[in-house]
A and B are shown apart, each in its own frame.
Chain A
Amino acid sequence: AQSVTQLDSHVSVSEGTPVLLRCNYSSSYSPSLFWYVQHPNKGLQLLLKYTSAATLVKGINGFEAEFKKSETSFHLTKPSAHMSDAAEYFCVVSGTGGFKTIFGAGTRLFVKA
């Protein structure tokens, strides 16, 4: 069975400091993993995805995530937060071959000036 856990419901950082949003997954097979961002009153936008190629994945807006099979993690990072990064972030596990798409509960990122 698959599952995904976002370890923090809220993360608060100051503008210009690094961002770390944590995601652990559980899967019997090699999954596909995604991060989505949802700004207030907007739809979800795909930030990046891992589909068994390079373990370090670069996405839009300076975000990147590293797939660590040994730790079953797919944490999202950004070197320097910007005010416009304030949003809800969702980690998602999926993949064809009997998988389902499971959304994490979300992490709300606050960015302080």
Chain B
Amino acid sequence: DTAVSQTPKYLVTQMGNDKSIKCEQNLGHDTMYWYKQDSKKFLKIMFSYNNKELIINETVPNRFSPKSPDKAHLNLHINSLELGDSAVYFCASSQEISSNDWATNYGYTFGSGTRLTVV
């Protein structure tokens, strides 16, 4: 029973295309996140959602649009994909009940990642 699940696991697409990554958590957590991991393994926060509301948008291009239909789901839609978007995207969730940032005392539960390759 996967706690945080992402689909797809791999995504190969051409420049200029639009793609979506889906994330679902069954932990009952209120807060969900999208992180981007580059080729050097550096992790950077992209978005934080608390109970379906956007909390953090950390200098991410407008081509990236998160959508949270309910607190168990946080999807990421990317328009007009560029070569530089190639990375591994991780969804995560945490127990924080309310948050105005992405700080945590509980830690995150991560999904297994989506490796996006733009050619």
Contact = CB atoms under 8 A, between A and B. Distances in A.
Interface in B21-63: 40-43, 45
A46 B93 CA distance: 12
A97 B105 CA distance: 10
Contacts of B99: 96
A34 B110 CA distance: 14
Interface in A55-113: 88, 90, 92, 94-101, 103, 105-106
Interface in B62-101: 90, 92, 96, 99, 101
A20 to B, nearest CB: 20
Interface residues of B, number: 24
A101 B102 contact: yes
A3 to B, nearest CB: 14
Given A44-B90, A105-B41, A105-B42, A95 B112 contact: no
Could you tell me the dominant secondary structure of chain B's interface residues? loop
A46 B105 contact: no
The contact size tier of chain A is 20 to 34
Nearest to B44: A103
B66 to A, nearest CB: 17
A46 B96 contact: no
Given A88-B41, A90-B43, A43 B111 contact: yes
Given A43-B113, A98-B101, A34 B107 contact: yes
Contacts of B108: 44, 46, 101
6 contacts: A43-B113, A44-B110, A49-B106, A96-B96, A96-B105, A101-B102
Interface of A: 32, 34, 36, 38, 41-46, 49, 51, 88, 90, 92, 94-101, 103, 105-106
What 4 pairs across the A-B complex have the smallest Cβ distances?
A: A99-B103, A43-B110, A43-B112, A44-B110
Interface of B: 4, 40-43, 45, 90, 92, 96, 99, 101-113, 115
